[in-house]
Amino acid sequence: MTKQELRKQIKAILQTHQPFFESESFRICKNIVLSDYYQNAQIILCYMALPDEVNLFQIILQSQNDKKKIFVPKVQTKTTNMDFFEITKNISLTKGSFGILEPDSSSTPFDFKDYQNENILILVPGRAFSKNGERLGRGKGYYDTFLKNKLRNCISAGVCFPFQIVNEIPVEPHDLKMDFMFY
């Protein structure tokens, strides 16, 4: 099966499971917060969910309550780059690329070099994942481009609904594997 065929298959599966998105998002967020990966992290790189992704808004609120630094992405639509910016209770979010809420660029940008001595948890969305951490994204390469610079103190964790787990993902050399999965 090609990547495009798998994306199409997962899209159809997601449409049939839409009534479960809210309860599953709540369950997955609870598992993330209870995990050692979250507990040990000082910094969380999170995503703002599209309508068919696990909603991590609870993680953002919990991270702020736990005094963790939390960063969310802002994509550069003319490239495959995205930057992460810190969000605090004072930072406003506006609809940006793909209709996703993004912070304004006046907030603090994330740079791996600035946080070499802190544990970082990167929560990564995907169209599908295999149980051994292979990831199928939406095809633009934003996360693969960003994650190629991650350091040893970073854990990349794929986040998806259980019905997005498949036996095998067609991978290419540039596709990065997740260190852990939450589903």
Query: Over the stretch 94-133, which tens digit does the pLDDT of each residue have?
Result: 888 788 889 877 788 899 989 999 999 999 999 999 999 9
- DSSP lists the bridge partners of residue 75 as 82
Write down the H helix ranges in 35-156. Answer: 36-40, 57-65, 142-147
Q: Which residue has the tokens 């609904």?
A: 161
For 70-100, write each residue's pLDDT tens digit: 999 998 878 878 999 999 888 888 888 788 8
In this structure, are residues 72 and 87 in contact, taking their beta carbons and an 8 Å threshold? yes
Whether the predicted model's global pTM rises above the 0.85 cut:
yes
Q: For the sheet containing 165-166, what is the strand order?
A: 135-136, 128-130, 165-166
pLDDT of 75? 86
DSSP structure string for 111-123:
-GGGGTTS-EEEE
For 31-63, write each residue's pLDDT tens digit: 999 999 999 999 999 999 999 999 999 999 999
Buried/exposed code over 88-119 (b: 16+ C-beta within 10 A; e: otherwise): eeeeebeebeeebebbeeebeebeeeebeeeb
In this structure, are residues 153 and 118 in contact, taking their beta carbons and an 8 Å threshold? yes
For 131-156, write each residue's pLDDT tens digit: 999 999 999 889 999 998 888 899 99
